[in-house]
Structure 1
Amino acid sequence: MKLISWNIDSLNAALTSDSPRAQLSRDVIDTLVAQDADIIAIQETKLSAKGPTKKHLDILHDFFPSFNVAWRSSIEPARKGYAGTMFLYKNSLPAPAISYPEIGAPSTMDCEGRIITLEFEDFFVTQVYTPNAGDGLKRLNDRQIWDECYANYLAELDRQKPVLATGDYNVAHEEIDLANPSSNRRSPGFTDEERQGFTNLLAKGFTDTFRYLHGNVPNVYSWWAQRSKTSKINNTGWRIDYWLTSERIANKITKSDMIDSGTRQDHTPIVLEIDL
């Protein structure tokens, strides 16, 4: 089975805009089409509470004609057009049960469309768009509560059957996971608190599939800041997007890697291949 995850940073812009960046995004979508994955997880869709429009769905069908769509958007009292997630999954797969869990997170986090879970007969596939700690770490306390609630949620799934979990986790776990650790000690995504939250998640019985296959290979990242025009050229990136699996199926992983997104900065897609 092949699975892909990507923070798209606005599905509407990627599908309907004529901007140069939108064209780069559509080039990435073309790359995903060629990958012929079974399941594609998309984060930060930034759609309205009503979800994708008919135009969005028609364009997605043109790209992915044999896929079903499941989506979740931010709803009040959370911000409009914020966060959001989507699954595309082949209609040849056994129809999964789809859930949109709320995990007891603080503030409006449970209303921000951050988690979708597909339940198949023998395993779960779940995706997350983890809340950012925010400028000035103003959301760090809430983020710590989120991390604990999310880890407990994954552990509950794992008690039922094996789990494949993916998404933008908004944390570089170890120093090797970003280009400049020393200058980012209190930056959102690399605080001690967020890193410990990810350590605690893995300790509940989950495997970082990229590190499982590649060990301590350096300089491999999944995100480059748009604000810096040279971040991707200079590879001053962060690895904040992950495929995790239940430890007991880690030996079935055959591939976990980044997919080349060309010159487009921000997130690059990540791929998992696993023999289930």
Structure 2
Amino acid sequence: MKLVSWNVNGLRACANKGFGEYFKQIGADLFCVQETKLQEGQITLDLGEEYTHYWNYAVKKGYSGTAVFTRIQPLSVRYGMETDEEPEGRILTLEFDGFYLVTVYTPNAKRDLSRLEYRLEWEDRFRDYLSRLDKLKPVIVCGDLNVAHQEIDIKNAKSNRGNSGFTDEERGKMTDLLEAGFVDTFRHLHPDRTDMYTWWSNMPGVRAKNVGWRIDYFLASARLAPAITHAGIDCDILGSDHCPIVLEVAI
């Protein structure tokens, strides 16, 4: 089974920058997107009749939002961690026979860290939510987690320490999540791989020089680790300030 995750930073804009071409070329069974930044009826996507579309729109227009395009019919779909609990459209959960798929757009602490306290509280609730699911069946989590976990996951670790997305607190919450029974699939297969990033600043020349952060992830329940056959980063795919990530798992 092939899964793809991509923070498109505005799906309408990305659709004009090669989204459809990449979608058809990659041939995913499950394709997850974050930061759709649209409301119902604001886009028409021709992705093929075999795909069913699920959307979690933010209440605020042009903000956040997640979606999943799937070839496999889910048993159930949940929007947010709890019913009607989360107005920013950040979480979609699809239940399948053998696993849960959760796509997420984790809140940003903001440059001035004004949302850090909320972010840390949200992380605790999200970890608890995933742990509850994991007790029922294995979980695959994907999306923009808005944190570079280790120094190897960011180009300039020393100068960025303490900045939003690389605070000790945010990195600690990622550690807590992994210790709750999940694996970072990319690091599982590539523990020492350097210079592999998923997000780059829009400042001139930054992406060309590969001065990036790895903040988009596929995590999986630890018991799925033996089934992971591929975990990749499609760094050369443009269309957003993030690039797509790919997971192949034998389930």
Q: Settle same-fold status: TM greater than 0.5.
A: yes
Q: Which residue number in structure 1 is paired with residue 50 of structure 2?
A: 66
1:134-161 CA-to-partner distances (Å, cap 9, x unmatched) read 1200000000001111111110110000
SS of corresponding position for 2:189: helix
Q: CA deviation at 1:32?
A: 2.5
Identity %: 42
Q: Which residue number in structure 2 is paired with residue 161 of structure 1?
A: 137
Match of 1:238 among 213, 225, 229: 213
User: Are 1:182 and 2:161 an aligned pair?
Assistant: no
SS of corresponding position for 1:40: strand
Q: CA deviation at 1:264?
A: 4.8
CA 1:275/1:195 → structure 2, altered by over 3 Å: closer, same or farther? same
* Matching of residues 90-239 of structure 1 within 5 Å: 90=71, 93-102=72-81, 110-226=86-202, 228-239=203-214
Q: Which residue number in structure 2 is paired with residue 29 of structure 1?
A: 20
Q: Which residue number in structure 2 is paired with residue 42 of structure 1?
A: 33
User: Are 1:89 and 2:70 an aligned pair?
Assistant: yes
User: Are 1:259 and 2:234 an aligned pair?
Assistant: yes
Q: Are the counterparts in 1 of residues 189 and 231 from structure 2 also a CA contact under 8 Å?
A: yes
Q: Which residue number in structure 2 is paired with residue 19 of structure 1?
A: none
Q: Are the counterparts in 1 of residues 35 and 65 from structure 2 also a CA contact under 8 Å?
A: yes
SS of corresponding position for 1:135: coil
Q: Which residue number in structure 1 is paired with residue 3 of structure 2?
A: 3
1:141 aligned partner, one-letter code = E
User: Are 1:271 and 2:246 an aligned pair?
Assistant: yes
Q: CA deviation at 1:31?
A: 2.0
CA 1:103/1:140 → structure 2, altered by over 3 Å: closer, same or farther? farther
Q: Are the counterparts in 1 of residues 14 and 239 from structure 2 also a CA contact under 8 Å?
A: no
| Structure 1 segments of 4+ aligned residues over 6 angstroms from their partners | none
**TM-score if structure 1 supplies the norm length?**
0.87
Q: Are the counterparts in 2 of residues 109 and 131 from structure 1 also a CA contact under 8 Å?
A: no
Task: Give the Cα–Cα distance (whole angstroms) in 1 for the partners of residues 81 and 221 of structure 2.
Answer: 21
Q: CA deviation at 1:52?
A: 3.7
Equivalent pairs counted in the alignment come to 251
CA 1:42/1:263 → structure 2, altered by over 3 Å: closer, same or farther? closer
Answer with 159-168 or 228-237: which moved more.
Answer: 228-237
Provide structure 1 residue ranges, at least 5 long, that are not aligned to the other structure: 16-21
Relative contact order (C-alpha < 8 Å, sep 6+): which is higher? 2
Task: Give the Cα–Cα distance (whole angstroms) in 2 for the partners of residues 263 and 153 of structure 1.
Answer: 33
Q: CA deviation at 1:253?
A: 0.1
Q: CA deviation at 1:241?
A: 0.2
CA 1:162/1:203 → structure 2, altered by over 3 Å: closer, same or farther? same
Task: Give the Cα–Cα distance (whole angstroms) in 2 for the partners of residues 32 and 11 of structure 1.
Answer: 12
Q: Which residue number in structure 2 is paired with residue 12 of structure 1?
A: 12
Aligned residues: CA RMSD? 1.8
Provide structure 2 residue ranges, at least 5 long, that are not aligned to the other structure: none
CA 1:262/1:161 → structure 2, altered by over 3 Å: closer, same or farther? closer
1:4 aligned partner, one-letter code = V
1:174-233 CA-to-partner distances (Å, cap 9, x unmatched) read 00000001111121100000000100011110000000001111111011111x121111
Q: Are the counterparts in 2 of residues 103 and 150 from structure 1 also a CA contact under 8 Å?
A: no
CA 1:186/1:159 → structure 2, altered by over 3 Å: closer, same or farther? same
